[in-house]
């Protein structure tokens, strides 16, 4: 079966990670790269043996052989280029945040619908085997009714006020960069616990520390969902926290020690379930297989620590047959 032909829009660090993932993908291949300068595109192309190197984003989107675009420029540029990619008829995998605000996100979604292309925000954890198993465990009801969710994604980044984590103009701050992960996870867990897919909070309260550059350096929030489910969320770009997910129910708890990236040990991830104070299950999950609707591009992606592998595999599995979301 033919592989999905990818173009990378931007050549930053996360684009390098995605390109490395594609090297072992059985569903996608890296065909082209686009940068704001030809020199940058050529350097990236040399490193990853990319056949087509474009010295502008416009040229990448005009490439007729590119089927899907992985978009990872600075946050404030996501909306413009995601919409332009959709207008060019390319499937879009956009790094989070999808937009700088709700209005931008809605415009991107509308552009994808209007031009009938697949659109996905690149929450790689949603494609991990460990997340699939977490959802299964919740649906099995091993810990009873879910009451409290704890989720954090935070790190101690650099102190450069001009760096993307602290520069307000570049969309800096913890909430836009990694705070969206705990928020997304809480909606997933609450939704599954309530018998659906995702749930919207009834109420959210939060506070943050704003540093000298005006961005939220670290923040916490509490969300209240239907069914009496509460979520404690934490994020930051200037402080290390315990980046785990814990779910407390009426009969026990579930802990995911590495919820966002999977295990650093290839092929192995872990979930711990405790019922009545005793360890009930330890799971090890390390292979991702994308969904395969009838006629979809076949194949799977190997590897446990495979965030961008999983993203690429998912888009190949559902985008290749005209399925749109």
18: CATH: 3.40.50.720
The answer as to whether 226 is a domain residue is yes
Q: What is the pLDDT of residues 91-136, one digit of tens each?
A: 999 999 999 999 999 999 999 999 999 999 999 999 999 999 999 9
The answer as to whether 325 is a domain residue is no
Do residue 308 and residue 251 come from a single domain? Answer: no
pTM summary value: 0.86
Question: Is 253 an active-site residue?
Answer: no
Do residue 184 and residue 114 come from a single domain? Answer: no
Give the pLDDT of residue 267. Answer: 62
The answer as to whether 65 is a domain residue is yes
Give the pLDDT of residue 1. Answer: 84
Do residue 68 and residue 164 come from a single domain? Answer: no
**Of 84, 90, 96, 253, which is the active-site residue?**
96
Do residue 59 and residue 182 come from a single domain? Answer: no
Do residue 274 and residue 175 come from a single domain? Answer: yes
The answer as to whether 324 is a domain residue is no
The answer as to whether 28 is a domain residue is yes
Do residue 70 and residue 145 come from a single domain? Answer: no
Instruction: Return the percent helix, strand and coil in the chain, to nearest 5.
Output: 35, 25, 40
Positive or negative, the CA dihedral 108, 113, 118, 122 is positive
The answer as to whether 22 is a domain residue is yes
Cα separation of 192 and 222, whole Å? 19
Do residue 9 and residue 144 come from a single domain? Answer: no
* Tens digits of pLDDT across the chain (325 residues): 899 999 999 999 999 999 999 999 999 999 999 999 999 999 999 999 999 999 999 999 999 999 999 999 999 999 999 999 999 999 999 999 999 999 999 999 999 999 999 999 999 999 999 999 999 999 999 999 999 999 999 999 999 999 999 999 999 999 999 999 999 999 999 999 999 999 999 999 999 999 999 999 999 999 999 999 999 999 999 999 999 999 999 999 999 999 998 766 666 788 999 998 788 655 555 433 333 333 222 222 222 223 444 566 556 544 433 334 4
Q: What angle do CA 177, 99, 59 make, to 5 degrees?
A: 105
Helices (H) then strands (E): counts for the chain: 9, 14
Cα separation of 135 and 197, whole Å? 9
187: CATH: 3.30.360.10
Positive or negative, the CA dihedral 54, 57, 59, 62 is positive
Do residue 138 and residue 206 come from a single domain? Answer: yes
The answer as to whether 9 is a domain residue is yes
Segment holding 104, helix H or strand E: helix 102-114
Do residue 179 and residue 142 come from a single domain? Answer: yes
- Phi-psi region at 303: left, alpha or beta (left = phi > 0; alpha = psi -120 to 50): left
Look at the block and give the residue holding tokens 């209007």. Answer: 114
The answer as to whether 143 is a domain residue is yes
Do residue 139 and residue 189 come from a single domain? Answer: yes
Do residue 111 and residue 229 come from a single domain? Answer: no
DSSP secondary structure letters along 170-182: GT-SHIIIIIHHH
Domain count, the chain: 2
Q: Which domain holds residue 70?
A: 4-123+290-319
Do residue 140 and residue 275 come from a single domain? Answer: yes
């Amino acid at each position: 079966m033919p592989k999905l032909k990818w173009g990378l829009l931007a050549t930053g660090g996360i684009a390098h990670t995605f390109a490395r993932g594609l090297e072992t993908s059985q569903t996608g291949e890296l065909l082209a790269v686009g940068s704001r300068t030809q020199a940058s595109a050529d350097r990236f192309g040399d490193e990853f043996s990319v056949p087509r190197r474009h010295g502008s984003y416009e040229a990448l989107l005009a490439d007729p052989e590119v089927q899907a675009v992985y978009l990872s420029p600075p946050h404030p540029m996501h909306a413009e280029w995601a919409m332009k990619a959709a207008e060019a008829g390319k499937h879009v995998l956009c790094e989070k945040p999808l937009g700088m605000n709700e209005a931008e996100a809605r415009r991107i979604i509308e552009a994808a619908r209007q031009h009938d292309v697949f659109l996905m925000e690149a929450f790689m954890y949603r494609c991990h085997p460990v997340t699939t198993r977490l959802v299964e465990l919740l649906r099995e009801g091993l810990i009873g009714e879910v009451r409290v969710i704890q989720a954090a994604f935070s790190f101690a980044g650099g102190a450069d006020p001009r760096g993307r984590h602290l520069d307000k103009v570049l969309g800096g701050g913890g909430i836009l960069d990694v705070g969206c992960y705990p928020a997304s996870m809480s909606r997933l867990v609450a939704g599954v616990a309530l018998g659906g897919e995702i749930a919207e909070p009834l109420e959210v309260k939060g506070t943050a520390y704003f540093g000298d550059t005006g961005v939220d350096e670290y923040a916490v929030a509490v969300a209240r969902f239907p069914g009496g489910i509460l979520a404690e969320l934490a994020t930051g770009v200037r402080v290390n926290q315990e980046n785990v997910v814990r779910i407390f129910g009426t009969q026990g708890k579930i802990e995911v020690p590495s919820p966002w990236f999977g295990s650093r040990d290839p092929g192995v991830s872990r979930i711990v379930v405790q019922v009545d104070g005793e360890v009930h299950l330890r799971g090890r999950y390390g292979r991702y297989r994308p969904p395969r609707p009838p006629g979809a591009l076949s194949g799977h992606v190997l590897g446990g620590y495979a965030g961008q592998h999983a993203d690429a595999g998912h888009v190949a599995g559902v985008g290749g047959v005209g399925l749109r979301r």
